[in-house]
Amino acid sequence: MLAGLPELLPELTELYVDLHRSPELSFAEYETARKLAARLSAAGYEVHTGIGGTGVLGVLRNGPGPVVLLRADIDALPVEERTGLEYASTVRVADESAGGREVPVMHACGHDMHATWLTGAARLLAEQRQQWSGTVLAVFQPGEEVGDGAVAMVRDGVLERAPTPEVVLGQHVVPGPAGWVLTRPGVLMAATDALRVVLHGRGGHGSRPETTVDPAVLAASVVLKLQTIVSREIAATEQAVVTVGSMQVGTAHNIIADHATLEVNVRTFDEQIRDRVLAAIRRIVDGEAAAAGAPRQPEITEIARFPVTTNDEAATAELATVFRDHFGAERAVPAPMVTGSEDFGELGRAAGAPSVFWLVGGLDAGQVTEAAAAGRFEQDVPSNHSALFAPVLDPTLRTGVETLVVAALHWLGAPAVG
């Protein structure tokens, strides 16, 4: 089944470079979706477009047998690329979510690689249909970065346009050694809660702070106090992350503004801890506002919400064995829990099917191992969402196509070789 991969790699490389050069933000992936849909159609898939906005579903019916869903996300981020690559993105667009402000755009999370992997796997499965029987569903999902894409596709009937899948499979490129494949049964990735906090003050002249309630000082107090949630309210044996990623207040040096806006990001692996952290944020925000004499209650609204990514235990154990048999124990290794988040699990949940999500290393193996040995992994190895993050093409591209094909064929009951 994988015999045709070497001949396909140049075409996939060309697709990857094109997608990397032409990134599109969440729910604006119009050209990306068009290109991917065209390739599915050319490979013989029944293609449905515009699902959940810009989502694409390819259905390949190949006789009786299991139904396997393969998913890749396709959106990019408002990040200015600094990789120095010849094919680096220079795209800038007006971002509606940022009030129409022009922002740079980059595939800083590797979704261009994910889309290319699934395109290659879909093509190989279509070209060798005589070796397996069943149905393959190829889902290209928009809007993963904002946490709404999978739900949007489900609500728009993606699972009603094809047979119900018996398993849902997906993967993500990570800053590990290229060629590694990492699996973990149970909880793999954290839940996310993104919150917008508006703190109300009373504005005035910068020379007369005594006549105001300064929201800048209030915001500073809130930011510092929020850092005590993890350090003082969560046990050392438990895990949570609270980050204030954005703080906006004021327009000039001599004006005390009337409000400040914070954006807070929370990561947890357990629902009880999640509830405790969110309650603590509310308590601290309300308490600091009251202590400052704020004229109005703060406003806390949800921006985005991702579920915990939990892999089916039995299906993941099966797949880990399959990957070890195919790649060898030195490349197929256990994954740690990851504080990044995904909405992939919404597809399996909606289908009532087991889901498995795994990780594929994408950076130069020598760079990663050298940095880890020197205790400088965090400093020297770019992570997802970094302006410097860019997977090496070889062997990352080949490995990600192989994993999808090998995993799909495990459930379709066919060998991957030949």
pLDDT tens profile 310-369: 999 999 999 999 999 999 999 999 999 999 999 999 999 999 999 999 999 999 999 999
Rg over alpha carbons for the chain, rounded to the nearest Å, is: 23
DSSP run (H or E) holding 404: helix 393-412
Backbone angles phi, psi at 346, to 5 degrees: -65, -30
- Is 75 a known active-site residue? yes
β-bridge pairing 134-141 and 186-189 = unpaired
Whether 391 and 332 map to the same domain: the answer is yes
Residue 226 covered by a domain:
yes
Residue 237 covered by a domain:
yes
Residue 248 covered by a domain:
yes
Whether 142 and 212 map to the same domain: the answer is no
Per annotation, catalytic residue among 144, 214, 288, 346: 144
pLDDT given for residue 1 in this prediction: 75
Strand partners, 301: 196
Whether 64 and 201 map to the same domain: the answer is no
Reported confidence tier of residue 418, pLDDT bands at 50, 70, 90: very low
Minimal CA–CA distance to 206: which of 260, 249, 257?
A: 257
Whether 42 and 26 map to the same domain: the answer is yes
pLDDT given for residue 417 in this prediction: 56
CB-based burial, 311-341: b 16+ in 10 Å, e otherwise: bbeebbebbbebbbebbeeebbbebeebebb
Number of domains in the chain: 2
Whether 21 and 144 map to the same domain: the answer is yes
Domain with residue 252: its CATH number is: 3.30.70.360
Q: Which of 257, 285, 305 lies at the terminal end of a domain, its last residue?
A: 305
pLDDT tens profile 278-308: 999 999 999 999 999 999 999 999 999 999 9
Q: Token pair of 389, please?
A: 């993050």
Whether 301 and 352 map to the same domain: the answer is no
Domain with residue 322: its CATH number is: 3.40.630.10
Three-state DSSP at 369 gives helix
Q: Token pair of 329, please?
A: 């124990």
DSSP character at residue 338:
B
**Cα end-to-end span (Å), the chain:** 5
Question: Residue 6: how many CB atoms within 10 A of its CB?
Answer: 9
Whether 230 and 297 map to the same domain: the answer is yes
Whether 180 and 204 map to the same domain: the answer is no
Residues 306 and 209: their CA atoms lie apart, in Å, by 41
pLDDT given for residue 100 in this prediction: 84
Binding residue numbers for Mn(2+) = 109, 111, 145, 172
- Is 233 a known active-site residue? no
Whether 223 and 261 map to the same domain: the answer is yes
Q: Report CA dihedral (11, 15, 16, 18) to the nearest 10 degrees.
A: 140
Three-state DSSP at 387 gives coil
Percentage of the residues of the chain whose pLDDT score is greater than 90 = 96
Reported confidence tier of residue 416, pLDDT bands at 50, 70, 90: low
Tell me whether the omega of the peptide bond preceding residue 185 falls within 30 degrees of 0, making it cis. Answer: no
Whole domain around residue 96: which residue ranges? 2-189+308-412
Q: Which of 305, 323, 348 lies at the terminal end of a domain, its last residue?
A: 305
Residue 262 covered by a domain:
yes
pLDDT, average across residues 195-214: 98
Q: Token pair of 216, please?
A: 């800048």
Whether 38 and 55 map to the same domain: the answer is yes
Per annotation, catalytic residue among 29, 75, 312, 402: 75
pLDDT tens profile 69-99: 999 999 999 999 999 999 999 999 998 877 7
Whether 38 and 139 map to the same domain: the answer is yes
pLDDT tens profile 208-262: 999 999 999 999 999 999 999 999 999 999 999 999 999 999 999 999 999 999 9
Strand partners, 61: 135
Q: Where are the beta strands (DSSP E) in 318-354?
A: 332-334
Nearest-10 crossing angle of helices 393-412, 313-327 = 120
Q: How many residues does the chain have?
A: 418
Whether 405 and 334 map to the same domain: the answer is yes
DSSP character at residue 87:
T
Minimal CA–CA distance to 201: which of 250, 167, 238?
A: 250
Give the CA distances from residue 76 to residues 60, 63, 97, 152, 401, in Å, rounded to whole numbers and listed in that order. 27, 36, 14, 17, 20
pLDDT tens profile 169-193: 999 999 999 999 999 999 999 999 9
Residues 62 and 60: their CA atoms lie apart, in Å, by 6
Residue 417 covered by a domain:
no
pLDDT given for residue 86 in this prediction: 98
Question: Residue 287: how many CB atoms within 10 A of its CB?
Answer: 13
